[in-house]
């Protein structure tokens, strides 16, 4: 990846009254993306490798990708406008002749992050978006100091 993106990871997922706050970032900065409860639960389950009694939506999508010879290559959060983040899901497809094709899809960052964690693909944010997001590191540090446990490093 070029210097126009920053690699990030899920640092924590915290339930809120309206869904979940997903803390994304690195050792320099953390920002928050608010997601619905179902996607927040999916992200948490993928982070902790929690078995599910039957496939959920993200599992179904991942199984479909696998059966088509595709996998999530990476996720890039590309913009932020009107309090909404936008992302691209980059998928690599290989056929039986070892030919490769790259597909880029618009995606909600929440769904893209869930799939990236599930398939152990990297997550990036555009430098221009990174420069504009509010740093929530202090909030995350206070939560961790008060007993909230963030996921282990490298889980995403």
pLDDT at residue number 145: 84
Residue 81 is assigned to a structural domain of this protein: yes
Residue 76 is assigned to a structural domain of this protein: yes
Residue 156 is assigned to a structural domain of this protein: no
Enter the pTM of the model. Answer: 0.86
Residue 37 is assigned to a structural domain of this protein: yes
Q: How many structural domains does the chain have?
A: 1
| CATH number for position 56 | 3.10.690.10
Residue 152 is assigned to a structural domain of this protein: no
pLDDT at residue number 36: 92
Residue 154 is assigned to a structural domain of this protein: no
| 119: number of Cβ within 10 Å | 18
- Range of the structural domain that residue 89 is part of: 5-145
Residue 79 is assigned to a structural domain of this protein: yes
pLDDT at residue number 156: 38
Q: Give the gyration radius of the chain's Cα atoms.
A: 16
pLDDT at residue number 142: 87
Q: Which residues of the chain have pLDDT under 70?
A: 1-3, 149-156
Q: DSSP state, 4?
A: T
Written as one string, the DSSP assignment of 29-78 is -EEEEEE-HHHHHHHHHHHTT---SS--HHHHHHHHHHHTTEEEEEEEEE
Q: Please report, in angstroms and rounded to a whole number, the separation of the first and last CA atoms in the chain.
A: 18
Residue 150 is assigned to a structural domain of this protein: no
- Say if CB 113 and CB 88 are below 8 A apart: no
Characterize 127-153 residue by residue with b for buried, 16 or more Cβ atoms within 10 angstroms of its Cβ, and e for exposed: eebbeebeebbebbeebeeeeeebbee
Q: DSSP state, 27?
A: S
């Amino acid at each position: 990846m070029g210097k126009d993106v920053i690699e990030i990871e899920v640092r924590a997922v915290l339930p809120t009254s309206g869904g979940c706050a997903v803390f994304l970032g690195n050792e320099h900065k953390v920002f928050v993306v608010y997601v619905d409860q179902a996607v927040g639960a999916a992200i948490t389950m993928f982070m902790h490798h929690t078995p599910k009694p039957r496939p959920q939506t993200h599992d179904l999508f991942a199984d479909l990708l696998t059966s088509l010879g595709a996998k999530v290559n990476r996720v890039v959060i590309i913009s932020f406008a009107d309090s909404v983040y936008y992302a691209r899901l980059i998928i690599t497809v290989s056929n039986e002749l070892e030919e490769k094709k790259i597909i880029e899809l618009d995606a909600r960052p929440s769904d893209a992050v869930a799939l990236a964690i599930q398939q152990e693909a990297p997550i990036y944010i555009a430098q221009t978006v990174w420069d504009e997001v509010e740093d929530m590191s202090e909030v995350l540090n206070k939560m961790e100091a008060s007993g909230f446990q963030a996921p282990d490093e490298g889980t995403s």
